[in-house]
Amino acid sequence: MIQISQTASNSGLKPILIAGCSVRAAVWSARSVQIACIAADQFGDVDLRASGVAWLPLSSDYHELPEYVQQLDLSGWCYTGGLENHPELLRQCERSAPLFGVRSYSVERLRDPILLSRVVEPTGIHVPETRLMTGKAPDGDWLLKPWRSGGGQRIRQADRAGAQTGTGGESFYLQRRVRGVPYSVSFLARNGKGEILGAVRQFIATSSEIQVSRGIRLQFPFLFCGGVTCEVGEVASPDVLQDLVDRLVQEFELVGLCGIDLIKTDTSRTCLLEVNPRYTATMELLERRSGTRFLPQHFAACQGKEATIPAFSATKDSVRPMYVAKQVLYTPTGLTIGEEGLVSLLGGSFLQASDAEIILADQPAPGSVLQAGWPICSLISLGRTEEQCLRTLRYYAGRLAIVLDQEKWSEYHRDL
């Protein structure tokens, strides 16, 4: 029997299990006097465990999840990033406890690029041409993408000698490359309609707005590295996006929080890259900008209810920030986190305050051994201008990199 040593909440309600690759942001979003949570993810970061929720470990293949859902006394469960790649696990868990989220059947249908293209094309949003791997890549500019994707880490440029599988026999498919600026749009699906919550201009390893180590840029050029809030109209016409969201909600029976990843070309053509049927990594930026936590609304929508969520203040003067930005920092080499932890390296506890100019999130435990390409932490900045946010990110990214290893990270000295 699974033992939970910590009390998830004093509310007396049965808890909700939040599971995924990393659930720190989702647990932060769910914080409410009426909602008790148990967290299950692959990291067990310092700030997640300091929030007072019970935590359970998950392996990279999430095989422990069905047992957790079956044995815990839950009011329900929901999933975040990574688990949409395992619809068979979702299906097992659906039999044991109520799911607050998109069901496995819909997740499988969303992974059909031909069906997705057929649904989306009438809106004027384009879906890049997608092909199955049958040997060599065709002529042209193509990307090799894994069927079980996550954060862009394993996406690479295809060449005509490209193999059908990657390391460990992983299966890939081909997608014609679209060059442009990546975005994410978040929405809440309820009663067959989608309410657009906001947009974020995404950063990848090669984005010019942020500082990323040279090794990461070269080895993982498409790696997700965060983003900055922007207006929905920067992505595409709000009417077009609303039509797109409504079609996706109705065709794929979406419910609750979902996100779509898009790219806008230099000719202002907007293309849909994928649909994320769950809470996404950029939603916390919109929450901090709006002063509203999204996950309680997600739970309500999945039960056919309306949710009245009190606003919170993202800054100490109660003035909402105009812009919120986040950067995920990755290590280009193996890295051991010292016993003092990251907070002390960057200057103290002020970094943990919700109204600080920079928030240090997803902090690995002291003594953690990180492999090359693994995330170190996330930095979140709030500001009255976009440039203020980005300048703050660049400063602290460089500061942390230099403190961790000045010689290896010397390229961060530029622009500081």
Q: Which residue has the higher pLDDT, 403 or 217?
A: 217
Sign of CA dihedral 101, 297, 64, 164: positive
Q: Cα(190)–Cα(178) distance, rounded to whole angstroms?
A: 31
Say yes or no to pLDDT of 112 above 90. no
pLDDT tens-digit profile of 326-375? 999 998 888 888 887 877 666 554 455 555 678 999 999 989 999 988 99
Q: How many CA atoms, within 13 angstroms, populate the side-chain half-sphere of residue 214?
A: 8
Question: pLDDT at position 262, please?
Answer: 96
Share above pLDDT 90 across residues of the chain, in percent, rounded to a whole number:
54
Amino acid identity of 148? R
pLDDT tens-digit profile of 57-88? 999 999 999 999 999 999 999 999 999 999 99
CA 167 to chain centre: 24
Q: Is 308 helix (H, G, I), strand (E, B) or coil?
A: coil
Question: Hey, which residues does 193 pair with through a beta bridge?
Answer: 190
Rounded to a whole number, what is the largest CA-CA distance in the chain? 61
Q: Which residue has the higher pLDDT, 10 or 222?
A: 222
Question: pLDDT at position 313, please?
Answer: 54
Token couple for 139:
């002529």
Domains and CATH numbers, the chain: 16-100 (3.40.50.720), 129-177 (no CATH), 323-413 (3.90.1170)
pLDDT tens-digit profile of 127-166? 887 877 766 767 777 877 777 777 777 777 777 545 444 4
Residue in the structure block whose two tokens are 């990393």: 22
Number of residues that this document lists for the chain:
416
Say yes or no to pLDDT of 414 above 50. no
Q: Cα(330)–Cα(345) distance, rounded to whole angstroms?
A: 16
The per-residue pLDDT of the chain, averaged, comes to 85
Q: Is 38 helix (H, G, I), strand (E, B) or coil?
A: strand
Q: Cα(308)–Cα(83) distance, rounded to whole angstroms?
A: 28
Amino acid identity of 101? G
| C-alpha pair distances (Å), 3 with each of 6, 7, 41, 180 | 9, 11, 16, 48
pLDDT tens-digit profile of 374-387? 999 999 999 999 99
Are the C-beta atoms of residues 388 and 323 closer than 8 Å to each other?
yes
Q: Residue 187: which H helix or E strand, with range? A: strand 181-190
Phi and psi of 122, rounded to 5°? -60, -15
Question: pLDDT at position 355, please?
Answer: 58
Q: Where are the alpha helices (DSSP H) in 188-325?
A: 214-219, 238-252, 283-290, 295-302
What are the residues whose beta carbons fall under 8 Å from the beta carbon of 91, sequence distance 6 or more? 104
Amino acid identity of 184? S
Sheet holding 172-176, edge to edge: 130-132, 172-176, 142-146, 156-157
